[in-house]
Amino acid sequence: MPSAAPRDLDVLEKAKKALEPGYVPGDDEDYMNSRQLDYFRVLLLEWKKSIREAADITLQSLQDGPIREPDLNDRASSETDWGIELRTRDRQRKLISKIDAALRRIDAGEYGYCEVTGEAIGIRRLIARPVATMTVEAQEAHERREKISRDD
């Protein structure tokens, strides 16, 4: 069985270590200047690389052979762990498509701006969630609408 799957935040923190030492985008700079865009491009690429490395480890573990636990309880536990691992990898596969979309927005000059309102998303939000596409307010409104439609 593979080691515990790294959480998205842990993988993101690992990616941040590969960035320009000492530089963190701040509110005192022009919003989405070339240095900030480079920062986020490298961050997104490193995040994607870290996710792929973790997926390769999982794939290698799967190829090493089937579960060979003689005890039925141990086998069931191993299969449950594998199920969790595979769901995590699927979630991260979807995250890679969000990372790719964010990289396309950087190239198009749209990164950092809300897809709903067109307002700046904000540096702190982008540092916390580099794939964010909406301001906090727009995201909250979206989630409220989603909840209301689910409740109907």
Residue 33 lies in a domain: yes
Query: pLDDT (tens digit, 9 = 90+) per residue, 98-128?
Result: 999 999 999 999 999 999 999 999 999 999 9
Tokens representing residue 152 in the block: 């109907």
Residue 59 lies in a domain: yes
Residue 141 lies in a domain: no
pLDDT band for position 87 (cuts 50, 70, 90): confident
Residue 149 lies in a domain: no
Residue 148 lies in a domain: no
How many structural domains comprise the chain? 1
Residue with tokens 């307010």: 137
| Structural domain harbouring 44 | 8-111
The reported pTM is 0.76
Residue 127 lies in a domain: no
**Phi and psi torsions of 151, nearest 5°:** -70, -20
Residue 55, C-beta contacts closer than 8 angstroms, at least 6 positions apart: 89, 92, 93
Residue 45 lies in a domain: yes
Query: pLDDT (tens digit, 9 = 90+) per residue, 37-50?
Result: 999 999 999 999 98
Amino acid 1: pLDDT:
40
CATH number, domain of 53, equals 1.20.120.910
